[in-house]
Amino acid sequence: MVPVTDNGSPKRRILVVDDEVYIVHILEFSLTMEGYEVVTASCGEEALRKARECHPDLIVLDVMMPGMDGLEVCRHLREDDELSATPILMLSAKGRPVDREAAISKGADDYIVKPFSPRRLLDRIRSLFEETTLDRASNE
């Protein structure tokens, strides 16, 4: 059964991927309070598995994780026919322009540097959803 909002429309599902438990908790709480359904993963391999299982509407993806990092996860997602159009917002402690450019070149739609404001993150998520909706409408 698909979770629905109070008005009966389906809730948007966001996959949050970060190896830092407190970041996951902050994001999960903030996003749930805004009415999103949240799925979490703590590493790259788990992120890919969960993305393929739940087909999220958006992915919030940490860059630096043990094993497969977020850039590699992003690349795999962009190569997957079923997930390639899913918006990806990267989170990272790396704040240099070259780091942002690397994420965007791998297919990220947006990039936020840690520490971040949950309010700002929510604003960026809303913007990505608006852009996705506009892109789909213009392609129909």
Q: Which residues of the chain have pLDDT under 70?
A: 1-9, 133-140
CA-nearest of 110, 41, 51, 39 to 79 is 51
Give strand ranges (E) for 25-132.
Answer: 37-41, 58-62, 88-92, 110-113
Q: Is the pTM of this model over 0.75?
A: yes
CATH architecture of 13-139: 3-Layer(aba) Sandwich (3.40)
**C-alpha–C-alpha distance, residues 122 and 109, integer Å:** 15
What pLDDT score does 26 carry? 95
> Does residue 44 contact residue 68 with C-beta atoms inside 8 Å?
yes
In degrees to the nearest 10, what's the CA dihedral of 90, 75, 126, 16? -60
Task: Say what the pLDDT of residue 9 is.
Answer: 60
Strand order in the sheet with 37-41: 37-41, 13-17, 58-62, 88-92, 110-113
User: What distances in angstroms separate CA 83 from CA 78, 86, 104, 123, 132, one per listed residue?
Assistant: 7, 5, 17, 23, 13
Give the per-residue pLDDT at 134. Answer: 56
The structural domains of the chain, with segments of one domain joined by +, span 13-139
